[in-house]
Amino acid sequence: MNTVIAFLTRAIVQAIPLLFGSTGEILTEKSGHLNLGIPGIMYVGGISGVIGSFLYEQSVGPENIQYLPAVLIPLCCCLLGSLCMGLIYSFLTVTLRANQNVTGLALTTFGTGFGNFFGGSLIKISGNDVPSITLTATSNMFCKKLPFAASLGPVGRLFFSYSFLAYAAVVIALVTSWILTGTRIGLNLRAVGENPATADAAGINVSRYKYAATCIGSMIAGLGGLFYVMDYAAGVWSNNAFGDRGWLAVALVIFSIWRPNVAILGSFLFGGLFIVHNYIPNLGVATQELIKMTPYVVTIIVLIFTSVRKRREDQPPASLGLSYFREER
């Protein structure tokens, strides 16, 4: 029983960065932009938060930090960093109409390099023996649990033992889902992603929607990087530890057929599949790697199913990946 609860809580913690990433990506893709820069943006979100909290911890000393600034400074840095990435992406793809795939992949490469450069610099400044930065004090602030969680036993551990960012991820996914399906803004955004010419003719400002969706989406995705460092990794940043979570988030978008509410459950499933090998005894290294592969396999299966069924509602936005030129007359 305890193992199961431990597995489930661990799976959910594993899932939250993915959920942030795919909620952001879904929002972006609904505007017709395939942002393959998400892995880089999440990486930048993470390192930006680390820079903020590192500077704050250095300036006041780790033992003197206050809750509010300790949380807000990294949070704002993270949002700012990922917003910049989103702005670069949308300027290139919306205003300059550059190829979205190339731009996205370039941003991922850039983001990883950016993160590793500043990660390495901070490690050098801190003079650590091991190649990592430890921000335990800030992490503890981020990981403050609900006070009554401990008293509720297994139920408390399963439902109430997470940091505020985890709940934020779920809430953001639900709100995004509601905005997309139940509001005029969502209707307009979907129209932009499906058929920008029609949206334009209806008087919707296509570029503004594309910019907003891409930038807000990037900021949401960036939070995934922050959650990873501060919560999952307990405040320890080491270069490249983030791994391929960014790509997993992109795969999750397809898995959840462009629905943020489905992405919540999908992320839990992906998180579980990602770590389940740790909970199955006596596995060889090869088998472990095979099991780690399952999220991608599941995504391919979903892709096959939706392609075969051809239900129009389950397809990506019709103009995904295409630049919009207003017909010049």
Q: Which is nearer to other proteins, 294 or 315 (CB)?
A: 315
Min separation Cβ 202 and other proteins, Å: 3
Min separation Cβ 54 and other proteins, Å: 45
Radius of gyration, alpha carbons of the chain: 20
Min separation Cβ 198 and other proteins, Å: 4
Q: Which is nearer to other proteins, 2 or 329 (CB)?
A: 329
Q: What angle do CA 35, 36, 40 make, to 5 degrees?
A: 105
Min separation Cβ 229 and other proteins, Å: 38
Min separation Cβ 29 and other proteins, Å: 14
Q: 211: closest CA among 105, 107, 83?
A: 83
Q: Is 287:277 a contact under the CB 8 Å cutoff?
A: yes
Applying CB under 8 A, which residues contact other proteins?
183-184, 187-188, 190-191, 194-195, 197-199, 201-204, 312-313, 315, 318, 329
- Helix or strand or coil: residue 104? helix
Q: Which is nearer to other proteins, 194 or 244 (CB)?
A: 194
How far are the Cα atoms of 17, 188, 286 from residue 323, in angstroms, in the given order?
29, 17, 43
Q: Which is nearer to other proteins, 157 or 210 (CB)?
A: 210
Amino acid type, 1: M
How many other CB atoms are found less than 10 A from the CB of residue 81? 30
- Helix or strand or coil: residue 235? coil
Q: Which is nearer to other proteins, 151 or 329 (CB)?
A: 329
Min separation Cβ 207 and other proteins, Å: 15
Amino acid type, 213: A
Q: Is 62:136 a contact under the CB 8 Å cutoff?
A: yes
Q: Which is nearer to other proteins, 148 or 329 (CB)?
A: 329
170: DSSP letter: H
Q: Which is nearer to other proteins, 177 or 188 (CB)?
A: 188
CA-to-CA distance for 117 and 135, rounded, in angstroms?
A: 18
Min separation Cβ 221 and other proteins, Å: 25
Q: Which is nearer to other proteins, 32 or 266 (CB)?
A: 32
Greatest CA separation for the chain: 69
Q: Is 90:22 a contact under the CB 8 Å cutoff?
A: no
Q: Which is nearer to other proteins, 4 or 318 (CB)?
A: 318
* Burial profile 6-25: b = 16 or more Cβ within 10 angstroms, e = fewer: eebbbbbbbbbbbbbbbbbb
Q: Is 20:90 a contact under the CB 8 Å cutoff?
A: no
How far are the Cα atoms of 43, 56, 117, 242, 250 from residue 138, in angstroms, in the given order?
18, 9, 22, 19, 29
